[in-house]
Structure 1
Amino acid sequence: MKAALLAMHYQNDVLHADGKVRVGMAANDPKRQMLIDAATRLLAAARRHGVPVISVRIAFAPGYADCLRNCALFRNVAASGAVQEGDWGAEFFEALAPREGETVVTHRRDNPFWETDLTEVVQRTGATRLYMAGIATNYVVEHGARHASDLGYEVAVVGDACSTAKPHLHAASLETLSMLADIVTVDQAVAQMGATS
């Protein structure tokens, strides 16, 4: 079984302590380094075992002309000045940034597949199983996992490489997704990648 890894929203505004987005990680969250370490191990294992890494980012044009403000989430993003193209906050967190030659997909809604080329990018890998990790669990990860499941992929959400600012929402999202995806740890994902490489 061929796999690919979607690493979503590991960006400065989302993950860094000085970032502007707080739905995925509270400003002073003591678990920040644990998440970074888990995601680092996951990315390293995927690369070691030849699993394609697709980095997914959210970013808007300066001034947010391309930001649809039909809900509180995106109104709050625009009000905060977060993830604008060309700004430090929209860049990838250095330790989790894509490597040269890896694919990057940019989106502007909750669903990373919506009005992007992510479907085609995944198809080109030949993967039938998608590992998903990122921030926030209950937004981009959940939307992406649901969409991938509807497309017919076998989905595995790597729970300890995901986060929300409120742990009960993280747990609830993983519980909901357990009917659509395998919920795995980084250690389990690494073992599975090694077994199929």
Structure 2
Amino acid sequence: MNTDNGLAPLRHRNRWRFSGGTVDLHRPDLPARTATLGAEPAPVVLDPTRTAVIVVDLQNDFCAPDGWLAGIGVDVSVLAPAVDLSAQVVAAARAAGLPVIWLNWGNRPDQANLPPGVAHVYDPRGTGEGIGSRTAPSRAPVLTKDSWGAALTDGVGSAPGDLHVDKYRMSGFWDTPLDSVLRNLRVDTLVFAGVNSDQCVYATLVDAACLGYDVVLLTDASATTSPSYCHDATVYNVRQCYGFTASTPDLLDALAAARPLDAGHRTAPTTPKDSE
């Protein structure tokens, strides 16, 4: 279930420090760790300390039986395995000290920043049944910030310390703070899960690769309501053009075998004067 209960004190990874009246521009030390991940087209060695998990659009309007997508006749039951596996990925990521980022549609109620092309995708006949409408079975405003439809679906839940980013396009990088959040986390490898694999997951992954991030798509913790060949083509394109693909069991094995994160590094918040 959705257990979003606020933010834990964030351990900032990108802050200056103060020592004896001097501003020290050294960032906090991030001890390197090693995890070998069975991936395609080749196994990869990644640093869990510089890796984050991005979970895309596991929200009620896409995944729940009374959400918007189900309400327009789409079979959302095909997404359930990806929801379950994403929950396993998130739990393992937290245990290994990887940042978890929930990236969901959360449009402004006034839609002031929503371009017409995006609005059209969700209301192609112009009948007013798309973003912001109350036409879903839940009667919640569709894909709108702080609504039931924008909340995490049953089977996954937020925990203190997770990060949340609202998005307003297929890609989570446009008109959002996602890139700033990632750069302040000082991560360079991104592991992707969520829905729909051929749409929002893929669009965000491609933009991440174009921005210089290393990208890994979890083929089984991502899914789509599109025909199966759309997911297959997405997997092919990720391997061919942008990065790597892996399975959830392979990721769990890699994180379990990685050198454990120092407990002090995991939990101690960094303050501006912690180096004095």
- Give TM-score scaled by structure 1 length: 0.88
> Once the 2 structures are TM-superposed, how far is the Cα of residue 86 of structure 1 from its aligned partner?
3.3
Name the structure 2 match of 1:160.
220
State the identity %: 22
Q: Does 1:12 find its partner at 2:60?
A: yes
The alpha-carbon distance between structure 1 residues 96 and 28, as it changes in their structure 2 partners (threshold 3 A), is closer
2:105, 2:145 within 8 Å by CA — same for their partners in 1?
Answer: no
The alpha-carbon distance between structure 1 residues 41 and 9, as it changes in their structure 2 partners (threshold 3 A), is same
Name the structure 2 match of 1:186.
248
Q: Give the whole-Å Cα distance in 2 for the aligned partners of 1:106 and 1:39.
A: 19
The SS at the match of 2:254 is helix
What do residues 35-68 of structure 1 show as CA deviations (whole Å, max 9, x unaligned)?
2221111111111111110111112223534322
The SS at the match of 1:156 is strand
Amino acid at match of 1:187: P
> Once the 2 structures are TM-superposed, how far is the Cα of residue 33 of structure 1 from its aligned partner?
3.1
Q: Give the whole-Å Cα distance in 2 for the aligned partners of 1:65 and 1:167.
A: 35
Unaligned runs of 5+ residues in structure 2 are 1-46, 125-129, 136-140, 260-276
The alpha-carbon distance between structure 1 residues 10 and 188, as it changes in their structure 2 partners (threshold 3 A), is same
Name the structure 1 match of 2:91.
44
Which 10-residue stretch deviates more, 49-58 or 167-176?
Answer: 167-176
What do residues 6-36 of structure 1 show as CA deviations (whole Å, max 9, x unaligned)?
01111000111211126xx94353x343222
Higher percent of residues as helix: 1
2:61, 2:149 within 8 Å by CA — same for their partners in 1?
Answer: yes
The alpha-carbon distance between structure 1 residues 28 and 60, as it changes in their structure 2 partners (threshold 3 A), is closer
1:109 to 135, 147, 169: 169
Q: Give the whole-Å Cα distance in 2 for the aligned partners of 1:134 and 1:68.
A: 24
Q: Give the whole-Å Cα distance in 2 for the aligned partners of 1:102 and 1:177.
A: 26
What do residues 101-160 of structure 1 show as CA deviations (whole Å, max 9, x unaligned)?
211011101110111111111112222211011111111111111111112111100111
The SS at the match of 2:117 is coil
Question: Of the two, which has the highest radius of gyration?
Answer: 2
Name the structure 1 match of 2:156.
96
> Once the 2 structures are TM-superposed, how far is the Cα of residue 192 of structure 1 from its aligned partner?
2.5
1:7, 1:55 within 8 Å by CA — same for their partners in 2?
Answer: yes
Amino acid at match of 1:122: L
2:166, 2:176 within 8 Å by CA — same for their partners in 1?
Answer: yes
Amino acid at match of 1:113: F
Amino acid at match of 2:95: R
- Give TM-score scaled by structure 2 length: 0.65
The SS at the match of 2:255 is helix
What do residues 66-101 of structure 1 show as CA deviations (whole Å, max 9, x unaligned)?
322215424353365521223211111143232122
Unaligned runs of 5+ residues in structure 1 are none
Q: Does 1:176 find its partner at 2:237?
A: yes
The SS at the match of 1:171 is helix
